[in-house]
Amino acid sequence: MGRLLYLTLIGAFLLSVSGCRVVHVKAEPQVAGTQEAKALETSDSKETQTPKNPQITQQSQTADKKPKTVKVLNDAPLYDKMQKNRNAYFRALNNLENYYSTVGNNMKLGWVRKEIAILGSIPSYDYVWGIKNKAKLSKLIAQAGSSGLVYGFNEVDLVEDMVAKRGDYYNALKELGDYYKSANANRRLSMLSEELKVLGVVSQYNYLESSTISRTDYVAADSIDAADEMYNEAKRLDSKGRLLGVAFKKTMLRAALAKYNELIKKYPTSDKADDAAYKAAEIYKYFGDYYPAAIYYQRAFEWNEYTDYPARFKAAWIMDTKLDKKSEALELYKQSILLEKNFSDNVDIAKARVKTISKSPQDVSIDINSSNDN
């Protein structure tokens, strides 16, 4: 009886467990699976459904987006014009260099070569492609060549041709720059501005108004009121320029230089002409124009042998260290030792340079000793 009761309880327990498991599997998982499947089917059908008017749908998607515009620069004609004028200017410079070399005008030859050297330092840019070339403008100057023949050419014609060509080059460069500015081509405008800036620096030599400075027979002794006023104005510009920053300084010094030269041209016998020559020499030296600087220093003491400036020493120093004219420098050093004793530092330097340059130490010692006796 007890055994039968035990088996009955075990069977009832197994039956209850089996029934719960069946209910769990059949009811809950089947309902959940059916809902998920229906949801997935609905989602897929919405995503893959083809619109009735695809063109309208595409337009509505891009309605808020602005189309991109690409600017196409049409600068090739202006660039070609600038190159043509630049080459013509370089050729005119080479012609002028050949002329002054042939006739032996070293001062003006130095001016031309200085102008060529400044231009040659400019990087060469291909503005159309907006890139920097490997070669500088010096290569383009050499490639421009020259007419080759200088005999029979008139200096005035050659100078006026060069100045006209320089003006054409400047105007073409400016025109190209204005185009880049209007087109907001800032990279190309920046490159062009560098060339334009340097071109403005070289326009400083007036080859046809230097006849006065070439004369050594003037005597700067006359008191002329107009010359005094001009000299004071030049000094004012000179002094103001030396107090400003580099950019403004150069502008003011060039204005002062022009005024000094104007005085020399108009009033070569004024007692301010030698002062103007010395001051102009100082400005030429500042700009690295050593040929005219040496000439102007010499005119200062040639026009006034009692000048208060150390013009002989400074002319000698430039000839010695910048122009490699040792023999001329030697004579001027000796003169400065004798006649510019108030500048003791210069005298010491001059004595040392005389000993180095001179081929005859005995002669040097005689000059130095005689200067000390005086």
Distance CA 93, CA 108 (A): 12
Provide the residue count of the chain. Answer: 374
Contacts 24+ apart (CB under 8 A), 294-300: 294/318, 294/319, 294/322, 294/323, 295/107, 295/213, 295/214, 296/213, 298/216, 299/213, 299/216, 299/274, 300/274, 300/275
| Boundary-marking domain end, from 270, 298, 326 | 298
Q: Domain count for the chain, please give it.
A: 3
Other CB atoms within 10 A of residue 23 CB? 10
Q: Which residues contact 59 (CB under 8 A, 6 or more apart)?
A: none
**Cα torsion through 270, 275, 279, 281, rounded to 10:** 80
Least reliable range by pLDDT among 30-44, 134-148, 192-206, 233-247:
30-44
Q: The pTM is what?
A: 0.53
At 64-111, the pLDDT tens digits run: 555 555 466 788 888 889 888 888 888 888 888 888 888 888 878 888
**How far is C-alpha 339 from the geometric centre of its chain's CA atoms?**
42
* Same domain (yes/no): 192, 227: no
* Same domain (yes/no): 269, 330: no
Specify the CATH number for the domain of residue 199.
Answer: 1.20.1260
* Same domain (yes/no): 111, 191: yes
Mean pLDDT (the chain) is 75
* Same domain (yes/no): 89, 181: yes
The pLDDT assigned to 102 comes to 85
Amino acid letter at 194?
E
Question: By percentage, how much of the chain surpasses pLDDT 90?
Answer: 28
Give the residue with greater pLDDT, 202 vs 175.
175
Assess if residue 56 is contained within a domain: no
* Same domain (yes/no): 126, 183: yes
| Boundary-marking domain end, from 161, 178, 204 | 204
The pLDDT assigned to 317 comes to 97
* Same domain (yes/no): 118, 226: no
At 293-337, the pLDDT tens digits run: 999 999 999 999 999 999 999 999 999 999 888 999 999 999 999
* Same domain (yes/no): 217, 278: yes
- What average pLDDT does this structure show over 217-233? 94
Assess if residue 50 is contained within a domain: no
Distance CA 353, CA 372 (A): 17
Assess if residue 4 is contained within a domain: no
The pLDDT assigned to 332 comes to 97
Distance CA 206, CA 163 (A): 10
Assess if residue 34 is contained within a domain: no
The pLDDT assigned to 39 comes to 44
At 156-168, the pLDDT tens digits run: 788 888 888 888 9
Assess if residue 305 is contained within a domain: no
Phi-psi label, residue 265: left if phi above 0, alpha if psi -120 to 50, beta otherwise = alpha
- Residue 46 pLDDT > 80, yes or no? no
The pLDDT assigned to 370 comes to 39
The pLDDT assigned to 230 comes to 95
Q: Which residues contact 228 (CB under 8 A, 6 or more apart)?
A: 270, 272
The two tokens of residue 192 are 């062009």
* Same domain (yes/no): 179, 285: no
Assess if residue 129 is contained within a domain: yes
The pLDDT assigned to 133 comes to 53
Assess if residue 53 is contained within a domain: no
Distance CA 297, CA 216 (A): 12
* Same domain (yes/no): 185, 90: yes
Whole domain around residue 190: which residue ranges? 76-204
The pLDDT assigned to 346 comes to 96
At 9-29, the pLDDT tens digits run: 555 555 554 444 444 444 444
The pLDDT assigned to 371 comes to 39
Q: In a 3-state reduction of DSSP, which class is residue 125?
A: strand
CA-closest candidate to residue 292, choices 147, 61, 111, 156: 111
| Boundary-marking domain end, from 271, 298, 325 | 298
- What average pLDDT does this structure show over 255-266? 90
* Same domain (yes/no): 108, 179: yes
The pLDDT assigned to 124 comes to 64
Give the residue with greater pLDDT, 91 vs 244.
91
Distance CA 99, CA 110 (A): 12
Q: In a 3-state reduction of DSSP, which class is residue 132?
A: strand
* Same domain (yes/no): 198, 216: no
Please say whether the beta carbons of 179 and 78 come within 8 A: yes
Assess if residue 324 is contained within a domain: yes
CA-closest candidate to residue 140, choices 158, 126, 130, 151: 126
The pLDDT assigned to 91 comes to 87
* Same domain (yes/no): 199, 215: no
